[in-house]
Amino acid sequence: MKLISHRGNLVGPIPNLENNPSYISDAINEGYDVEIDFWFNSNDLYLGHDLPTYQITDDFLELHKNKLWIHCKNLYALRYLYGTNFRYFWHQEDDFTLISNGKIWTYPCKNVLDKSIIVCKDAKSTQKIIKENEAYGVCSDYVGV
């Protein structure tokens, strides 16, 4: 099962570090994939949940390409990644969203398939999904617990 850190978190949410490039790199160095929040504004690349907060470069994305699951936060980010071989998607509160690589981003508490990555909001449900091993992956703030 693919374990995906939500914004770099491993043992619970730490909002002031989420999407920070060094925090993301730390999670990757621990062996996890990471879901990031990606913005494209005025020809610049950013990470950040509610706003474009941390400026990054193409090199950062390229370096971590095989470990990133990129949540596009604006239409320009989606256009920027469209047609590339990055794993990217757009969603808000959809039950299911197709990722560019054919996997299915799945909202919490929804049914899963063997192609699903389910988002879990707490440690207990994260561990339950990992133990049941019915999904392709799990994205959570608690994948390191």
Phi and psi angles of residue 93, each rounded to the nearest 5 degrees, phi first: -130, 30
Instruction: Report, as an integer, the average pLDDT of 94-118.
Output: 95
Strand partners, 88: 70
- pTM listed for this prediction: 0.96
pLDDT (mean) for 36-64? 97
Mean pLDDT of 9-27: 98
Backbone dihedral region for residue 129 (phi beyond 0: left; psi -120 to 50: alpha; all else: beta): alpha
User: Which of the four pLDDT bands, split at 50, 70 and 90, describes residue 35?
Assistant: very high
Token pair for residue 60? Answer: 């950062």
User: What average pLDDT does range 9-16 have in this prediction?
Assistant: 98
pLDDT of 58 > 90? The answer is yes
Q: C-alpha distances in angstroms, 86 versus 2, 72, 99? A: 16, 11, 10
Q: Band of the pLDDT at 45, cuts 50, 70, 90?
A: very high
